[in-house]
């Protein structure tokens, strides 16, 4: 047993190994929503964070890190993967089986028994690492779809610890989920937790239906009742929605700095000072609806609804899973579409679409948000989408318009955005035009309640509410129903 009262378990550690020009390596904070959401938890509590270090065939000893913004030092515990394990467990089962299945089969999942065997093996390796690190009676919080077997495995190793699980992506309806050959094993794995958290109420309900259909357990809103068995007492598992959020105060403060405000002005000037700037920021993924968005924008230029000299669409596509064929094909499709539209409507001094295949630090993102009049979030399926919340958090002047897919979890909270069905290209075009021409008074009326929502339900509220329910569930207290 270890001495960490709080252990976080995620597929990746919150750092990347970087080789400096002098040949020496160092660890730097990783970008991404999960790191931004969980690092403040570790900074407040200390403890251990278990995850893969980001490279195969290397052995890295555990090491301590100091949070960049202050707080308690915490321990990083790497879990090693061979190259073949990475291919089978991560690229194979996680991203070619589970990811497309959980995103409503936008692309067809593949199922291979060798991938599943690797998935079980690696989940057990993570569970064993957590069992070694957790203090007696401690808390272990497991994250995301790659590690859904860990809660059951960990309960068998360490029945004394409180186990929480949070799924950052959607959980599909049973009609879709049922095609997974290992559907019962996944559900049983998750039920090893004391609290299982989802992004949306609908996801929690989908999971409970899967429990009823596959295991026959009784459920009600917010609860799964596991009956007594020969060697185990009856248990109640809390199943609820905990919509993840951002550090709204950080983005609000960052957007107010003179350097970010000056950079926002500079960005608009670099774009040719268009009358309206539209922005899309996404991981390069087929779930994000990037092609739909660009197609709609191109048709608005083609039919004369928009003047290409007066509008500019900036599309940031952060590289993702570049070894997976479907992602390479998506990149080619997007880049060809952008090239065609710019070729048709660009001039020597201005292209209507600026396409950026790279990631950016927080300060540059804040400047892009400030520089943009319209934010386009057109996900075909998304657990939450924190980009939508980041954009709203930076709009201290209550100006700007968020066009938001109803299939993103953020739409449950940001109800005064312009909600759209991204599959409806004509409807998407109409709402882009509505956003571009929206009067300032209506922009403010829509933006204010979204900013209040994000300020009240920030990432600290998210983690505190989940951990409070986990402690309560383990202590046998009455956790509120959803």
Catalytic pick among 103, 119, 143, 168: 168
What is the distance in angstroms between the CA of the first residue and the CA of the last residue of the chain?
34
Q: State the catalytic residue, choosing from 88, 194, 247, 382.
A: 382
Strands 25-29 and 235-241 come out as unpaired
379 sits in which H/E element: none
What is the torsion angle, in degrees rounded to the nearest 10, for the CA atoms of residue 67, residue 15, residue 13 and residue 19?
-140
> Residue 401, SS3?
strand
Separation of alpha carbons 342 and 353, rounded Å: 6
DSSP 377: E
Q: 227, 237 in Cβ contact below 8 A?
A: no
Contact 316, 282 (CB under 8 A): yes
Q: How far is it, in rounded angstroms, from Cα 395 to Cα 418?
A: 16
Query: What SS3 class is residue 314?
Result: strand
Could you confirm whether 168 is annotated as catalytic?
yes
Instruction: Let me know the angle formed at the C-alpha of 223 by 217 and 226, rounded to the nearest 5 degrees.
Output: 35
Identify whether 282 is a catalytic site residue. Answer: no
74-78 and 25-29 beta bridge pairing? unpaired
Distance in angstroms (rounded) separating the CA atoms of residues 214 and 407: 26
Q: How far apart are alpha carbons 378 and 364 in whole angstroms?
A: 22
User: Which residues are the active-site residues?
Assistant: 168, 382
């Amino acid at each position: 047993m270890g001495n960490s009262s709080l252990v976080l378990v995620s597929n990746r550690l919150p750092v990347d190994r970087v080789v400096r020009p002098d040949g020496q390596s160092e660890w730097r904070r990783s970008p991404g929503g999960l790191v931004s959401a969980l690092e403040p938890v570790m900074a407040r509590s200390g403890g251990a964070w278990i995850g893969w270090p980001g490279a195969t065939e290397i052995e890295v000893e555990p090491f301590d890190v100091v949070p960049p913004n202050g707080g308690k030092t915490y321990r990083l515990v790497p879990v090693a993967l061979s190259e073949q394990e990475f291919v089978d467990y991560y690229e194979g089962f996680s991203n070619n089986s589970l990811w497309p299945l959980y995103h409503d089969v936008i692309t067809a999942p593949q199922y291979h028994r060798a991938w599943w065997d690797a998935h079980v093996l690696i989940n057990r390796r993570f569970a064993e690492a957590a069992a070694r690190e957790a203090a007696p009676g401690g808390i272990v919080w497991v994250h995301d779809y790659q590690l859904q077997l860990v809660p059951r495995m960990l309960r068998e190793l360490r029945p004394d610890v409180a186990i929480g699980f949070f799924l950052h992506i959607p959980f599909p309806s049973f009609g879709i989920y049922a095609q997974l050959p290992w559907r019962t094993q996944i559900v049983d794995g998750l039920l090893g937790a004391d609290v299982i958290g989802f992004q949306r109420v609908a996801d929690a309900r989908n999971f409970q239906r899967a429990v009823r259909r596959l295991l026959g357990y009784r459920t009600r809103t917010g609860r799964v009742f596991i009956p007594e068995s020969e060697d185990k007492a009856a248990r109640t598992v809390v199943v609820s929605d905990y919509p993840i959020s951002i550090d709204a105060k950080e983005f609000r403060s960052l957007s107010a700095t003179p350097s970010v405000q000056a950079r926002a002005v500079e960005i608009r000037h670099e774009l040719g000072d268009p009358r309206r700037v539209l922005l899309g920021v996404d991981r390069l993924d087929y779930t994000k609806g990037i092609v739909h968005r660009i197609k709609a924008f191109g048709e608005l230029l083609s039919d004369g609804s928009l003047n290409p000299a007066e509008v500019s669409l900036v599309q940031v596509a952060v590289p993702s899973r570049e070894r997976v064929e479907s992602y390479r094909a998506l990149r080619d499709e997007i880049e060809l579409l952008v090239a065609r539209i710019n070729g048709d409507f660009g001039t020597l001094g201005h292209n209507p679409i600026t396409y950026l295949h790279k990631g950016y630090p927080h300060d540059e993102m804040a400047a892009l948000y400030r520089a943009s009049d319209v934010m386009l979030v057109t996900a075909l399926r998304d657990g939450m989408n924190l980009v939508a919340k980041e954009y709203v958090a930076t709009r201290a002047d209550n100006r700007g318009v968020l066009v938001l897919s109803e299939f993103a979890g953020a739409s449950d909270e940001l109800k005064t955005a312009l909600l759209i069905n991204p599959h409806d290209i004509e409807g998407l075009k109409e709402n882009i035009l509505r956003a571009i021409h929206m009067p300032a008074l209506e922009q403010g009326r829509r933006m204010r309640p979204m900013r209040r929502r994000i300020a009240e339900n920030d990432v600290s509220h998210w983690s505190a509410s989940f951990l409070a329910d986990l402690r309560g569930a383990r202590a046998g207290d009455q956790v509120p129903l959803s």
